[in-house]
Structure 1
Amino acid sequence: MFSHVVIFWTKPEIPGATDALIAGAEQYLRPIPGVRSFHIGRMAKSHRDVVDQTYQVALYLQFENKQQQDDYQVHPLHLEFVEKAFKPNCARVVIYDFE
């Protein structure tokens, strides 16, 4: 298994940036071949100090192996997501990949 976790900080000056990012991921990323598991959602509030609550959206993708994730990165739908949903709506992103 290869897991790909993306944490997004949306642009606060853009109303609806969070919704647009989530909708864009659903439209462009979910259908990409090789994605075994897809989950995107808003940050869940927590009373625990150790839980980062500074971001707005998280994306979790699971692939069978690293090669499938590498193929996903250059897929035309992923590139379209970056241009149409990510760049207009996000101020920052952090990615965690693990096997």
Structure 2
Amino acid sequence: MTQEWIQHSVIFNLKHKKGSEEARQFLADGQEILSSIPVVKNFRVYRQVSAKNDYDYGFSMEFANQEEYETYNAHPLHTAFVQERWVTEVERFLEIDYQL
């Protein structure tokens, strides 16, 4: 990893009931769609289990540098997922980006 490396993560709650088929489908679709963007590395889907916050799920991915991160943000698959799924199905979220 270089100093430019970025780990992008987001924890979130869905409008769907936790553990429902709709929630499962959202997580599966998110993984399939977002991990298919060429600059995305090490995409992971998590179930959040800490008692210290009340979020339910997480997505995490890595980028080699800021340019790749910006490419991801502007990619048509990402923007479509945000507009068509994220805005309509996510209740609330917290986004965190890390760099070494």
| TM-score for the superposition, normalised by structure 1 | 0.81
Deviations 1:37-92 (A, max 9, x none): 11012223x4xx5x32x112101111111110111001000011112321221111
4+ residue runs of structure 1 moved beyond 3 angstroms? 12-17
Percent of pairs with identical residues:
27
Assess if the C-alpha contact under 8 Å between 1:17 and 1:90 holds in 2. no
Q: Does 1:7 align with 2:11?
A: yes
Superposed CA RMSD in Å reads 2.0
Per the alignment, residue 86 of structure 1 pairs with: 86
SS in 1 for 2:31: helix
Aligned pair count reads 94
Instruction: Provide structure 1 residue ranges, at least 5 long, that are not aligned to the other structure.
Output: none
Per the alignment, residue 29 of structure 2 pairs with: 24
Assess if the C-alpha contact under 8 Å between 1:20 and 1:89 holds in 2. no
Deviations 1:9-63 (A, max 9, x none): 111569544223202212310100111211012223x4xx5x32x1121011111
| TM-score for the superposition, normalised by structure 2 | 0.80
